[in-house]
Structure 1
Amino acid sequence: MPEHFEVIIRSIISFSLLLIGTRMLGKQTISQMTMFDFVASISLGAISANLAFNTTIKIHHTIIAFVMYVAIIFLIAIISLKNRKGRKFLAGDPTIVMQNGKVLEGNMKKMRYTLDYLNQQLRERDVFNIEEVLFAIVETNGTLTVLKKPQFRNVTRQDLMIAVNGEQKLPIELIMDGEIINNNLEQNNLSFSWLESELRKRNLTHHDVVYAVMAANGNLYVDTYNDYIQTPIDKE
């Protein structure tokens, strides 16, 4: 077999294995990456890359290594799920870097966490004045959780004793890319005729609509292909 054909086949196998492996390991590997998840992801990526282009390594040897890594990671994830000590050993503990408005330099030094990085992560959470912070905690996945002092927290309806209408459901997508999502209509006891009626009120058909979603409060948001914007700011 010509070498370039072999690389194509190996790349398809590599991508398929990586996709199956990440599906098995769950979304946490992507969305909440701890140090263990980081090491696991790099290892799987390196094995997959070698499977794709390193023709000097036999395919079945690489697949065995990949399967073993996935099995080990999956086993460790189960142990972490059932054993708190194991979870703490693998993921570590959150670290408090600000307590009662004071910066804990000792904790930051142990983590090699600088004031510049602290300020950057505070700004990412819309905190531009460090005096507003009561507690700041670096989570095991590296994100910063911030609790502001009471006088700097956002006012809620409950604080103002304003009545709140309860919301019992998530927004429901009804049309996406011009296609009606029939399953969502059926599951929420909504009829096609009702949707057509709502669109007619706006002088539209579903072919004109790129996206339609019913909010939790019952309002229907509709976005059409023709936005009637003469000078869109994202036009290149």
Structure 2
Amino acid sequence: MDHLAILIRSFSAFVILMLIGRILGKQTLSNMNFHEFVTAVILGAIAANFAFNEKIEVVHLLIALSVFTITSYVLSKFFLKFRNFKMWTEGAPTVLIEGGFILEDNLKKNNMTLDSLNQQLRQKEIFNIEEVEYALLEINGKLSVQKKKELQAVTLKDLQLNAGNATQFPIELVIDGQLLHGNLNSNHIPESWLLSQLKARDKKLEDVFYAVKGSNGQLYVDEYKDKIQHPIDVE
């Protein structure tokens, strides 16, 4: 009977974790941030006790699982609405290489050695750090890299452009309808320039979900209303 009880509890714990993962969504699996990491560790510990620790009542374990699941779910929704709170709790991506130069202070702030940086670059098939123009450490610990212009893959569009045009790093100006004043000020982009660009496209700031000044200097804008009749959602 003891073996049967453990079998049932283990299977139940597995099913419950599967349901919790489904509730919390795909973001938890692909890009685990700080609060999702903490939640995953705690839920795993509770599920293990649920499966093997018969001294703890099932009701208490179910209550604990429910509390942490609901907390994580509410935080995820809260982060969607209040970006500043999300940035305060999770931090922001850190630039480790800018313009081909390694930012040693940023490496130290993230407790990252040059060996670790080179290891992550090699995982992206970059064995020569001189090939890198920009490298960012994302909040999930992964490294995003942009190679220097002369080393990037050539597209048909590139063949039509002047090879002498300077490349700059894309600058986010609007996220979730909120104007990023810090990015505007640090990159010397007047707010009037953004508003005039939107006006030329017959758009208002409150209509914009996301806006970024691309590496070619052009403004990319995504509206809240995309006017897509049947959006695709692959389950």
The TM-score with structure 1 as length reference comes to: 0.66
Partner of 1:60: 59
Q: Any unmatched runs of 5+ in structure 1? A: 162-236
Secondary structure in 1 aligned to 2:4? helix
- Structure 2 residue identity aligned to 1:108: L
- Partner Cα distance (1:40, 1:111) in 2: 22
Distance 1:52 1:89 in 2: 36
1:129 corresponds to which residue? 128
Does residue 152 of the first structure (1) align with residue 155 of the second (2)? no
Distance 1:48 1:89 in 2: 30
Aligned residue type for 1:70 = T
| Partner-residue secondary structure (3-state), 2:92 | coil
Aligned equivalents of 1:89 and 1:73: distance in 2? 16
Aligned to 1:48, the other structure's residue is in SS state: helix
Which residue of structure 1 lines up, in the alignment, with residue 29 of structure 2? 30
3-state SS in 1 of match to 2:96: strand
- CA offsets per residue over residues 157-178 of structure 1, 9 Å max, x none? 22235xxxxxxxxxxxxxxxxx
Q: Which runs of 4+ in 1 moved over 4 A?
A: none
Please identify the structure whose Cα radius of gyration is greater.
Answer: 1
The one-letter amino acid paired with 2:144 is: T
Q: Is the 8 A contact 1:94 1:137 kept in 2?
A: yes
Q: CA deviation at 1:90?
A: 2.9
C-alpha RMSD of the superposition: 1.1
Q: Does the CA contact (< 8 Å) of 1:10 and 1:59 recur in 2?
A: no
Kindly report which structure 2 residues correspond to 1:157-236, keeping only aligned pairs within 5 A, or say none: 157-161=156-160
1:52 aligned partner, one-letter code: A
Matching residue of 2:40:
41
| Alignment-derived partner of residue 21 in structure 1 | 20
Alignment partners' CA distance in 1, 2:52 and 2:89: 32
Contact 2:35–2:72 (8 Å) recurs in 1: no
The Cα of 1:115 is off from its aligned counterpart by 0.6
8 Å contact 2:135–2:144 — kept in the other structure? yes
1:80 has 2:82 as partner? no
Q: How many residues align?
A: 160
Distance in structure 2 (CA, Å) of the matches to 1:158 and 1:126: 25
Q: Which residue of 2 aligns with 1:99?
A: 98
Which deviations, in whole Å up to 9, do the C-alpha atoms of 1:193-233 show, x marking residues without a partner?
xxxxxxxxxxxxxxxxxxxxxxxxxxxxxxxxxxxxxxxxx
Q: Counterparts of 1:18 and 1:86 in 2: how far apart (Å)?
A: 28
CA contact (8 A) 2:94 2:136 kept: yes
